[in-house]
Amino acid sequence: GAVVSQHPSWVICKSGTSVKIECRSLDFQATTMFWYRQFPKQSLMLMATSNEGSKATYEQGVEKDKFLINHASLTLSTLTVTSAHPEDSSFYICSARWGPPSETQYFGPGTRLLVL
């Protein structure tokens, strides 16, 4: 149980295009999902918290208009990187919150984005 998937696993795009990444909880409903970014040889950095049916909450320093998050259902959250540039190349990972009492998070396999 508690499986989270991401699609696509790899994406290569040209500078200036937009890229959408999907995060799905496969066997449970997740009212809250999270998006992280990880640069090579660094730890995970929390970007935003995605809440079903409401606006996402972004961490300080993360551009809301660049990283659009939509959590339209209890099993799907999407991250759209708008007008991607080479500096947006990174490993993007989502997670979904597994309910009380421990509020454990389960993570997806990640999406590697390369912007040329």
Partner 1 sequence: DAKTTQPPSMDCAEGRAANLPCNHSTISGNEYVYWYRQIHSQGPQYIIHGLKNNETNEMASLIITEDRKSSTLILPHATLRDTAVYYCIVRVPITGNQFYFGTGTSLTVIP
Binding site for partner 1 (CB under 8 A): 2, 4, 6, 32, 34, 36, 43-46, 49, 91, 93, 95, 97, 100-110, 112
Opening angle at CA 59, ends 58 and 62, nearest 5: 80
Burial (0-12, 13-18, 19+ Cβ within 10 Å), 62: middle
Shorter beta-carbon distance to partner 1: residue 78 or 95: 95
The CB-of-62 to partner 1 minimum distance in angstroms stands at 13
Shorter beta-carbon distance to partner 1: residue 6 or 75: 6
The CB-of-67 to partner 1 minimum distance in angstroms stands at 16
Helix %, strand %, coil % of the chain (to 5) = 5, 50, 45
Shorter beta-carbon distance to partner 1: residue 1 or 14: 1
Shorter beta-carbon distance to partner 1: residue 16 or 99: 99
Contact 94, 25 (CB under 8 A): no
